[in-house]
Amino acid sequence: MASESSDRAGGARPTLPRPVKIVISGGFGAGKTTMVGSLSEIRPLRTEEVLTEASIGVDDLAGLAGKETTTVALDFGRISINPQLVLYLFGTPGQDRFWFMWDELIRGAIGAVVLVDTRRLDAAFAAIDFFEDRQLPFVIAVNSFDDAPHYAANRVRKALDLDPNVSIVVTDARRREDAKTVLVTLLEDTIRKWDREAPRSAEHRPAQRGAGR
């Protein structure tokens, strides 16, 4: 068995995986838990509770007729891109009364996905404002609900008052390949942002910020 010192001398020790934290967010019922579940290679951690009569008049279930549960803390999943790069996915709760958790949930994240349901575009405003305010890169993922109206990306951009550099991707949160495209877009946008802000970039990179905590 090789000792620690001989490992060091040989210089052949494998490097530790670099954890990258990504937040999956959006309004109530936009598909956050579904997306984390589609992407995760491990059984995702979920904190679902049944929607009871107590939610009547509190949670806006318009357009969400079949919705029976809701996330009350977070979703957690993992996806290994390669042995050195592991993405940790943190899904937010969707309801306003859980906003107090969001600052903790985004700590150390490199970027976020904002899932949008075109039947309830306004439900995405709070998440967009939040990430703009924290200057965390984000992409818009328009989730394809069966009866949701389809709008061209420029109309979605206008309706959500998005900066031109925020990407909009149409997705189906239930499909892994779709969800992966969203993540790749986010990673590319984030790297571009780091490159634009080169002198500041080092402090934003996950190794320095303790991502995945």
Ligand X SMILES: Nc1nc2c(ncn2[C@@H]2O[C@H](COP(=O)(O)OP(=O)(O)OP(=O)(O)O)[C@@H](O)[C@H]2O)c(=O)[nH]1
Question: Where along the sequence are the contacts to ligand X (CB under 6 A)?
Answer: 26, 28-34, 66-67, 70-71, 93-94, 143-146, 172-174
In whole angstroms, what is the distance from residue 143 CA to residue 75 CA? 18
Q: Identify any residues that bridge with 76 across adjacent strands, giving them in sequence order.
A: 45, 90
Residue 28 engages Mg ion in binding (rule: CB under 5 A): no
- 30 versus 162: smaller Cβ distance to Mg ion: 30
Question: What is the residue whose two structure tokens read 């985004």?
Answer: 106
Q: Identify any residues that bridge with 141 across adjacent strands, giving them in sequence order.
A: 115, 169
- 67 versus 192: smaller Cβ distance to ligand X: 67
- Give the count of beta carbons closer than 10 Å to the beta carbon of residue 34: 20
Residue 193 engages Mg ion in binding (rule: CB under 5 A): no
Question: Residue 102 touches which of Mg ion, ligand X, none (CB < 5 to 8 A by kind)?
Answer: none
Least distance from C-beta 149 to ligand X, angstroms? Answer: 13
Residue 143 engages Mg ion in binding (rule: CB under 5 A): no
Question: Residue 40 touches which of Mg ion, ligand X, none (CB < 5 to 8 A by kind)?
Answer: none
What one-character DSSP code corresponds to residue 27? S
Least distance from C-beta 108 to Mg ion, angstroms? Answer: 21
- What Rg do the C-alpha atoms of the chain give, in angstroms? 19
Tokens in use for 130? 């939040």
- 32 versus 204: smaller Cβ distance to Mg ion: 32
Residue 49 and residue 70 in contact, taking contact as beta carbons nearer than 8 Å: yes
- 12 versus 54: smaller Cβ distance to Mg ion: 54
Least distance from C-beta 30 to Mg ion, angstroms? Answer: 9
Question: Residue 146 touches which of Mg ion, ligand X, none (CB < 5 to 8 A by kind)?
Answer: ligand X
In whole angstroms, what is the distance from residue 107 CA to residue 5 CA? 35
Least distance from C-beta 71 to Mg ion, angstroms? Answer: 3
Using CB under 5 A, which of the segments 27-35, 96-104, 132-140, 186-194 binds Mg ion?
27-35
Residue 33 engages Mg ion in binding (rule: CB under 5 A): yes
Residue 20 and residue 86 in contact, taking contact as beta carbons nearer than 8 Å: yes
DSSP, residue by residue, 53-110: GGGTTTS--TT-TT--EEESS-EEEEEEEETTEEEEEEEPP-SGGGGGGHHHHTTTEE
Which residue of 38, 40, 71, 143 would you call a contact of Mg ion, by CB under 5 A? 71
Chain residues that interact with Mg ion, rule: CB under 5 A: 32-33, 71
